[in-house]
Amino acid sequence: MRLLAAALFAVLATTSPLQGGPVSVDSFYALQTTTLQGRPANLADYAGKVTLVVNVASKCGFTPQYAGLQKLHDEFASRGFSVLGFPSNDFANQEPGTAEEIAEFCKKNYGVTFPMFAKVVTKAGEGQSPIYEFLGKGGELPGWNFGKYLVGRDGKVIAYFPSKVAPESKELRDAIEKALGR
């Protein structure tokens, strides 16, 4: 019965009774989503980790950042860090592919092994993903592909880094190090 109540709470915490509309949650890790392979995903699996949440696209000038994101993921994974990729077609239709095409592109071109999730809407308004509604509570929503949110172990957004901030940048790496506790 407790498990059923917890599952019901998780659903109610991320959607309202009216067409899946969002309601308030206090932790990124309280949200539910779907993997790129179409399976349900519970972001609670990342609770206690530091994550870098990125809206990604395969046909963007910033697409080569996949390589740096994978490098960050590999370098810091043993310290409780993960990159989480959320494909989005919000900006100039630069992610038109199917889930299978996205997965193949990422693996073939950049060796991506970090978790990738189903395509989402990042922009505010109707259809916006609860993920990006939560991330945008601090006033920052991606203005383009490869916007990056650093999320702490507690599920709170620590910082937002726009597309032009590369994964290799000192600013981003220092923020990750600080969040991980050096």
Question: What pLDDT sits at residue 99?
Answer: 96
Tens-digit pLDDT profile for residues 124-141: 999 999 999 999 998 899
Question: What pLDDT sits at residue 179?
Answer: 97
Global pTM? 0.86
CA distances from 112 to 108, 132, 151 (A): 8, 22, 20
Under 8 Å between Cβ of 151 and 51: yes
Annotation marks residue 106 as catalytic = no
Averaged pLDDT score across all residues of the chain: 89
Number of H helices, E strands in the chain: 5, 6
Question: What pLDDT sits at residue 25?
Answer: 82
Q: Map 114-127 to HEC letters.
A: CCEECCCCCCCCCC
Measured between alpha carbons, how far is 16 from 23 in angstroms, rounded to an integer?
6
Domain ranges of the chain: 25-180
**What one-character DSSP code corresponds to residue 77?**
G
Which stretches of the chain score pLDDT less than 50?
A: 1-23
Strand 81-87 relative to strand 157-161: parallel, antiparallel, unpaired? unpaired
Residue tagged active-site, from 10, 44, 47, 60: 60
Which residue type is seen at 111?
G
Topology of domain 25-180, CATH = Glutaredoxin (3.40.30)
